[in-house]
Amino acid sequence: MKKAFRNPWTWIPTLYFAEGVPYVVAMTVAVIMFKRLGISNTDIALYTSWLYLPWVIKPLWSPVVDLFKTKRWWIIFMQLVIGAALGGVALAIPLPGYFKITLIFLWLLAFSSATHDISADGFYMLGLNEHQQAYFVGIRSTFYRIAMITGQGLLIILAGYFETTTGLPPIDIQVKANPSYARTITIPQLFQDAKAQSGTASFSAFPEVASLTTQNITARQMDSVRKIVTSHNLEFGFVGNGNPLAASRKDDSSSFWSDYVSSPLKSFLQKHFPKTEGITSGEKMTGNLAIVAIKLNGKPEAGKEMILNFKMKDGDNDLRLLEGERLAFNLQNWEQPAYLLFQADSKLNAPTEASFKGTSGNIHLAWSLTFLILAILFVLFSFYHRLMLPYPPSDKRVIQEQENLFRAFFRTFGSFFRRKEIWVILSFLLFYRFGEAQLIKMASPFMLDPRQVGGLGLTTGEVGLIYGTFGILALTAGGILGGLAASRKGFKYWLWWMVLAINIPHVAYVYMAYAQPSNYLIISLCAAIEQFSYGFGFTAYMLYMIYIAEGENKTAHFAIATGFMALSMMLPGMFSGWLQEIIGYKHFFVWVMLCMVPGVIPVLFLNVKPDFGKKNPLEKFD
């Protein structure tokens, strides 16, 4: 029997959890996955930013959901399509041309998710009465946030777990320091391991025990050795960003854009803002070094990489890994050794030791398993909601007066752009988050990239915990505080504080790019501060969208504003990876700081009622 109403607790939590997961997969999880699979920052930023497009144009096809079928049908069907898209990604990842194929399925995922958003939000209003809508608005937001934490946090941690448990046996290296050891620094020669002949793939180290003296060397000597190690690992592709798709195109291809815009701009940036490696030089004394060679004994599959991540296992923190936190072995470089570089603290003067552990994983298999689990989850969601969603009498397709519906739609759409201050409105919507849109795309790649190319050298699981869990919790807390603040003194009072909050804390990433801290507490604190401030500052954006939507066509105008909100993230994100790879992380995050200027200018011209957003002291809640 079809029930018109059901207990909202049986379907609202799962519905809005299912609404949040595909969005975070398309916007964040895909970025981390492609980074771990070796795609360049240029391609990651460009192609994943295009995934915003369905949310940009969502207001344009929302009438289609009303015209054909019920919203209940759209929810159930879209969840099946989302599950199929996730399954397609899982099956495509192991294939040689996985990048283009997975992008196709991610496009399907994005369009299905945006359509699911339209139908779910509409069904929420049809399936609940006015009192229930008010009561469950916080519940739906909470489970949407839980979906964000699951996607950016738990899901990434799960993928990181698969990455470390689906590969070759781990490798241990002992590092010992003693004042009596010889001061010479030797580079291990290419060696052959007996296991390579047996056909059993494994990693081996030479020497297994690295010895270095506590007698210091000059910074100039350290620079020289470090450049040898870094150049070797970069030359053979053990570290680096991978090759962008553009690299496979013909070098002699040209166009007006490349000849007169992108190429001259690239040359200008490379000349005036070259990448900096952060290597000091001079006669200042610094800690001694030891080099260890790592060899993969066994031929990897074509198109596949074996990733080896090194972290300190236990011992003295005065002995640190300077180069080689993440090494990528593939069919082109597996016959060559990769180099690790260890350094003792310059103040160390007594015997000590430390143990480092290298763990490898089948990256393609790990992410295939992760997306397969997601695909199964959404198939289950579809069947569950088929049983548990109610059948509201008002949930019917609109079949009468279709011409009038479309005429009204275009009239409403036009009325938004005939507003008196439309250029101020559009400028604010597009540029308020100009810096944040670029930072969001590069935050995860920055944390994952090896230190020798300017990153922090974190593992997938660590990024999931720091950025996807602590960061989302801080973002949520900042949003709650922003809403409470605006309700007490009004939107206009807090506007400039929120403008500063969404821009100034970007300095945390400038600090991390220059200092490259290895302490997880410091990294977590920097990420949390930036996300908390973003949540607080974003309140101004949401309140302004509500403010400009006030009037006869409130719902439609707000939907149009959300389209520009998605566009404001899409366009800056598209070029952020290209820019970062040219100027490096240090200059890139400084650029992000400077991007607050275009966001501040429209604020100078905003005309907002002083009491907008402020709680009426006479208003009471039952």
- What DSSP element (H or E) covers 354? strand 352-362
User: For 252-272, what is each residue's pLDDT tens digit?
Assistant: 455 555 665 667 777 777 676
For 328, list phi and psi in degrees, rounded to 5: -110, 120
How would residue 154 be classed by pLDDT, with cut points 50, 70 and 90?
Answer: confident
Distance, CA of 240 to CA of 238 (rounded, Å): 7
> For position 581, what pLDDT does the model report?
86
Side chain identity, residue 44:
I
Question: Can you tell me the mean pLDDT for 222-227?
Answer: 88
pLDDT above 90 for 165: no
| Phi, psi (degrees; rounded to nearest 5) at 256 | -60, -40
- Residues 48, 6: Cα–Cα separation, whole Å: 38
Residues 594-620 have a mean pLDDT of 77
Neighbours of 581 (CB within 10 A): 22
Rounded average pLDDT over 282-302: 84
- In which band, very low, low, confident or very high, does the pLDDT at 619 lie, cut at 50, 70 and 90? very low
Listed by start position, the domains of the chain span: 171-245+256-362, 407-607
Question: Which tokens go with 288?
Answer: 């001694």
| The pLDDT value given to residue 241 | 47
Cβ neighbours, 10 Å, residue 114: 24
Q: What is the pLDDT of residues 345-360, one digit of tens each?
A: 888 888 999 999 888 8
pLDDT above 70 coverage of the chain, percent: 84
Longest dimension (CA), the chain: 91
The CA distance from 312 to 375, in Å, is 36
Question: Of 176-190, 352-366, 477-491, 540-554, which range is least confident?
Answer: 540-554
Looking at residue 493, what is its pLDDT?
Answer: 87
Q: Which residue has the tokens 């800690």?
A: 287
Contact 556, 413 (CB under 8 A): yes
What's the mean pLDDT in 577-583? 88
Least confident of 207-211, 257-261, 531-535: 257-261
Burial of residue 460 (CB within 10 Å: 0-12, 13-18, 19+) is: buried
- In CATH terms, 407-607 corresponds, of 3.40.50.300, 1.20.1250.20, 1.10.1370.30, 1.10.150.20, to 1.20.1250.20
Query: Per-residue pLDDT for 559 more than 70?
Result: yes
Angle at Cα 488 formed by Cα 482 and Cα 494, nearest 5°?
50
Cβ contacts of 47 within 8 Å, gap of 6 or more:
103
pLDDT reported for residue 195: 45
Which pLDDT score is estimated for 408? 65
Torsions phi, psi for 296 (to 5 deg): -90, 120
Contact 442, 620 (CB under 8 A): no
Q: What is the pLDDT of residues 401-429, one digit of tens each?
A: 555 666 766 777 777 888 888 899 999 99
246 pLDDT more than 80: no
